[in-house]
Amino acid sequence: MQQLKEDNLKKQLRIEKIGFTVLTILAIATVLPIIAVVIYIVYLGAPAISWDFIFSMPRDGMKSGGIWPAIVGTFYLTIGTAIFSVPLGIAAAIYLSEYAPNNKLTQTIRLAIINLAGIPSVVYGLFGLGLFVVFLNFGTSILSASLTLAIMTLPVIISTTEEAIRAVPQSFRVVSISLGATKWQTIRRVVLPQAIPGILTGVVLGLERAAGETAPILFTGAAFFLPRLPNSPLDATMALPYHLFVISTQVPGMPIQIQYGTVLVLLVFVLLMNIIVTIIRSRARAKRQW
Amino acid sequence: MDKIVIENFSLTYSDGVESLFNINLNIPANQITALIGPSGGGKSTLLRAFNRLNDLVDVQRISGVIRIDGINIFRKDIDVIELRRKVGIVFSRPLPLPLSIYQNVSYGLEMMGEKRKSVLDDVVEKTLRLSDLWDDVKERLQDSAYSISGGQQQRLCLARTLALQPEIILLDEPTSALDPVSTAKIENTLEELKQDYTIVIAPHNTQQAGRIADQVAFFLQGKLIEFSSSDEIFTRPKDIRTQDYISGKFG
């Protein structure tokens, strides 16, 4: 009897050990490709990075010189996307989580938002071409591209913001209301400040995707090559992801460092956004006590 | 004088869990009225009816009237915000807002539109003194309200309620999460407060009702079984169920 128990225990421990090992291997397996990609890009791209590469115009049919207009363009597009999508997305999330009655219409809106997140980005590109470039006559411009990217980004911002708002304990709302605050005062003074870390995460996730997309800007705002920087929202612009597409597929005899140098810059751009938001979020989390 | 008059009041939640059936009760001003009874009896529901906090949850049906100072609080034209400023509540767990100690107390007034720093400062000090917390926190008013102990937090919640200068204070098992010392402090404060306020409390045990209440109402499964002075209830309860509950036969 005693022997049987011990055997059983040993068997359980062995199974546990195997289980943990498998999980550890799987966890490493998911991270390894990412690390490999980053190392590969840094290895090939780092030699290209120089003051001149970042801050000067492309020369020789983009085969030498820098990528400054593409960096500036991606920066403009990201800002433009944020201007349109962040206020609208947060407002929509506040409505959905705090005000919308729980009925068929609201459920349909939620379902639509989830589905919008799954639409291929090239479809947004075509939609943007039809609506902003042609119908509203904004032309191929930063404005059209930003609006297109904003529509693509909205579902991500709305759903993560809604999630963050819902995570704020209901008791805070009850307390605030019991102290004679209105619903809006409660949202503004208590709910939103607590939800900000989560909202920021959603915003950055959405904007990162926008910054790295090619298809939506292809027809709406991206220029193959511009010898100058855009100086109005109605100008077309170069952008990092599209520039990368161009120099990788459209220009024969392109030096490989320039391609990977461009990738590296895009990667650092996105990573910087991530790091900034992680810092803000962890600061806010550290302050939170509930 | 009766501050709160309840006539044929019934309330049913949408999920039907806790309800009140045909309650008739007059709550006198400037006294401590305790609502006692086993949990699920409707005490908390009744308290939350007085400042219409039940509006926030799914209530299926309300009938009858509750009058405060002679005015039916379920009337269509009643200003609910105004009502909640007049009828303050302290909850069973200390629930500070995620703000500083100072902001927790000034919150209600600021929401009313009071911006003058001197007024806010005065009220914060006055109410923190009233709730016996001033000496503990006067050096650290800007610290998070979560940096103080649970007992202090609950006194902060009382101060926060007092800051609006309500006429009625509702307390829903306010000391259930507190140690005996903190409990005694709260009880002493309530004794002092009753000169100026009407206090309705759902104490977290019958002994507490015995210590502080002037009037006691016994609730069982949503019905008011017996209501009289504290002395009567504890020495000569009329209903056998009241007697059984007080003597601890069930609970």
| Domain harbouring B175, CATH code | 3.40.50.300
B251: in domain: no
A192: in domain: yes
Which residues between 30 and 69 in chain B have a beta carbon less than 8 angstroms from any beta carbon of chain A?
Answer: 51, 53, 56
Cβ pair A158, A88 in contact under 8 A: no
User: For chain B, what is the mean pLDDT?
Assistant: 89
Q: Which residue has the tokens 């009625």?
A: B168
**How confident is the model at residue A290, as a pLDDT?**
67
Helices and strands (H and E) in chain B: how many: 10, 10
* A175 vs B contacts (CB less than 8 Å): 91, 95, 97
A47: in domain: no
Q: How many Å lie between the alpha carbon of A98 and the closest alpha carbon of chain B?
A: 12
A59: in domain: no
What is the residue range of A252's domain?
67-287
To probe the interface with A, which of B78, B93, B107 has the most A CB atoms within 10 Å?
B107
* B88 vs A contacts (CB less than 8 Å): 178-179
**How confident is the model at residue B19, as a pLDDT?**
84
Give the span between the Cα atoms of A208 and A200, in whole angstroms.
12
Give the span between the Cα atoms of A34 and A37, in whole angstroms.
5
**How confident is the model at residue A287, as a pLDDT?**
73
CB contact under 8 A, B146 and A287: no
CB contact under 8 A, B111 and A179: yes
Q: With a cut of 50, list the residues of chain B below it in pLDDT.
A: none
Tell me the mean pLDDT per 10 residues along chain A, length 290: 81 92 94 92 88 83 81 92 95 93 90 89 92 90 94 93 92 94 94 90 89 89 82 85 87 84 90 87 76
Q: How many Å lie between the alpha carbon of B81 and the closest alpha carbon of chain A?
A: 5
> Is residue B127 packed enough to be buried (19+ CB in 10 Å), middle (13-18) or exposed (0-12)?
buried
Cβ pair A185, A258 in contact under 8 A: no
| Domain harbouring A127, CATH code | 1.10.3720.10
A16: in domain: no
**How confident is the model at residue A226, as a pLDDT?**
81
B124: in domain: yes
Dihedrals phi, psi of B199, to nearest 5 degrees: -115, 125
Q: How many Å lie between the alpha carbon of A64 and the closest alpha carbon of chain B?
A: 55
What is the residue range of B141's domain?
2-246
Cβ pair A217, A125 in contact under 8 A: yes
B191: in domain: yes
Domain count across chain B: 1
Q: In the numeric block, which tokens belong to residue A161?
A: 């913001």
Give the span between the Cα atoms of A101 and B58, in whole angstroms.
12
Q: In the numeric block, which tokens belong to residue B32?
A: 């401590």
* B93 vs A contacts (CB less than 8 Å): 171
The alpha carbon dihedral of A9, A10, A15, A20 has a sign of: positive
A203: in domain: yes
B208: in domain: yes
**How confident is the model at residue B248, as a pLDDT?**
83
Does B10 contact A at CB distance below 8 Å?
Answer: no
CB contact under 8 A, B161 and A179: yes
Domain count across chain A: 1
Half-sphere exposure of A202 (CA within 13 A, CB side): 25
Does B107 contact A at CB distance below 8 Å?
Answer: yes
Among the partner-chain residues A180, A190, A194, the one whose CB lies closest to the CB of B81 is A180
**How confident is the model at residue A164, as a pLDDT?**
93
pLDDT tens digits, one per residue of B156-177: 999 999 999 999 999 999 888 8
B134: in domain: yes
CB contact under 8 A, A178 and B107: no
